[in-house]
Chain A
Amino acid sequence: MSDPNLITVAEAPDVSGRSRSLAGDAWADLRRNKIFWVSAVLVVVILLMAFLPSLFTSADPGACALSNKHKGPTGSAIFGYDFQGCDVFARTIYGTRASIEVGVLSTLMAGVLGLVFGLSAGYFGGTTDAVLSRLTDIMLGVPFLLGAVVFSGRLSGSEDDGVWAVTLTLGVLTWTSAARVMRSSVIAVKSQDYVAAGRMLGASPGRLMFRHILPNSMASFIVVLTILLGTNIAAEATLSYLGVGLKGDAVSWGLQIAEAQDYARIAAHPLIWPSIFLAATVLAFIMLGDAIRDAFDPKLR
């Protein structure tokens, strides 16, 4: 941007216009963004399915009758029945909960780890940064799913449904992207004039970190976590599909897909519906993350 005229054009409205906060600007942008509303509505519906499944179906996902095996859609079971004669619609709705639980908990865990590691690496720099950055490199040296199949298989006992094992696996293996984003935005914010001014005025490191640096680094961090939520939900399904995720009596989209795949030639509907729900859920969170990023960083649009 060495052309002064173009700069003038871009900045002209700012000179004359009203000044708003970054967050205010972003919200005004979001409100006009259709993708944001579509994804937000989807997310709300998904959360309702996860925590109040009885709103959507009165059937019991555990009540299966082999006599219904692979039956097509009926009035009460609108998605038909699977190979064990279970109501596909009911199981798909109840399966939401496991996905959301694992997704939210593992993302929170990755977020906390990423926040602590990224913030310390970016803020303290020097040796702390070097050690933490190497640790990040090492974690990134193990492709995610490979680490996960080794790790999560070891964790779960044979009795439980594996929710905690999968959550722990995903949390421990996915904090790196959050930490990297946090670190680079802390470094970017730290070098800005107002932080230097705060330091010269004698603000304590703690105050600097939490009053100045953290709020300004939050935007990109939240975006990464939103997208991570989507990908972790997909990862849970993949692990469950491979047999190292949720297990036993758990109701999960990944398990449904794994079971239905063997019979896809005979009955496709038990495969298709959980697939659609899974894709829609991942899509909703990724779109939400995209929309938030666009709002905070309009130049990338």
Chain B
Amino acid sequence: MFRYIVRRLLQMILTFFGATFVVFALMFANQDDPIQALVGEKTASDSLRAALTERYHLDEGFLTQYWYYMKGLLTGDLGKSLTGRDISEMLADAWPVTIRLAILAILIAAAIAVTTGVYAGIRRGGLFDNGTLLMTLLLLAMPIVVLAPLAQLVFAMELRWFPATTTKNATLYELLLPALVLATTVIATQLRVTRTSVVENLRADYVRTARAKGLAPRRVTWVHVLRNSLIPVVTLIGVDLGVLMSGAIVTEEVFNIPGVGFNLARGIRTEDGPLVVGFVSVLVIIFLIVNLAVDLLYAALDPRIRYE
């Protein structure tokens, strides 16, 4: 276990610097005029030019720039957006509603994907299984830019079951429709992985042993098969978080939820470079930390890894 954790930590540190470097390089690489890149198509005033040059140390070498960028990231100093607001403050403002949205979406997705996936796996080849496969196919084919506006149109504007937009202090009910939309971005893969893994585990020898022990079918499935089948599903959580972050940008934009994704989408539209780089960097760090946590969870679920 100890060696496993150490190895994962070292890998994470490497990935951390690599990934932040990629973000930084994507932003500033190959730019004749980095300031123009930061402000987009707007014209930068002299005072803005001076401020940005100082902020990003543009008058120094590339590696020095990266060093200052990392220092800012690690000390929580993200600078100011082009509108003059403190980016850390904007982030702090936007977090709570996004976290609630994300947790709601994750819970919805996990509940649906695991139960449906297990039943589809048990009844492999049956009507329920084929119906579920078809449904996942349709979900996979619905990009969030299709799903979010259509869901808003149908369920909020036409049927009026949910409000079309929300505020910072949205209730769980107000967040339900966006959370459902967000959940659909990850349900299909989670469900498919659960199903495949249940199908494989049902054939395993230890299932035969469990039945030979005279255990009830329900116990065989939900204790013996499920625990083994969840291992690959848990590893998906890490990847899914990235999908959820991407989905949240569009979802919050569509439903006007003033969270992280909404601010980021506005930053993209108004070509607010400092805002985009700041938000994206923080999201990447969260993504990496969650992935590390998932690796540790994986070890907790699979003793064969733990005692490696």
Contacts and interface: CB of A to CB of B under 8 A. Distances in A.
Given A138-B22, A141-B18, A264-B153, A257 B145 contact: yes
Contacts of B239: 140
B144 interface: yes
Contacts of A108: none
A141 B15 contact: yes
A72 interface: no
Interface in B102-138: 137-138
Contacts of B29: 154
Contacts of A241: 145, 250
A151 interface: yes
Nearest to A280: B141
A141 B22 CA distance: 9
Interface in B51-107: none
A144 to B, nearest CB: 6
Interface residues of B, number: 57
Contacts of B140: 230, 282-283, 286
A147 interface: yes
A interface: dominant SS: helix
A264 B271 CA distance: 25
A278 interface: yes
B41 interface: yes
Q: Which of the four size classes fits the interface of chain A?
A: 35 or more
B276 A153 contact: yes
B286 to A, nearest CB: 10
Interface string A243-261: 1100000000010011011
Given A242-B249, A244-B268, A283-B137, A150 B205 contact: no
A278 B157 contact: no
Interface stretch (A115-123, A184-192, A201-209, A267-275): A267-275
A254 B145 CA distance: 8
A63 interface: no
Interface of A: 1-2, 134-135, 137-147, 149-151, 153-154, 158, 230, 234-235, 237-238, 241-244, 254, 257-258, 260-261, 264-265, 268, 271-272, 275, 278-280, 282-283, 286-287, 290, 300
Interface of B: 11, 14-16, 18-19, 22-23, 26-27, 29-31, 37, 40-41, 137-138, 140-146, 149-150, 152-153, 157, 196, 203, 205, 239, 241-243, 245-246, 249-250, 253-254, 264-265, 268-269, 271, 273, 276-277, 280, 283-284, 287-288, 291
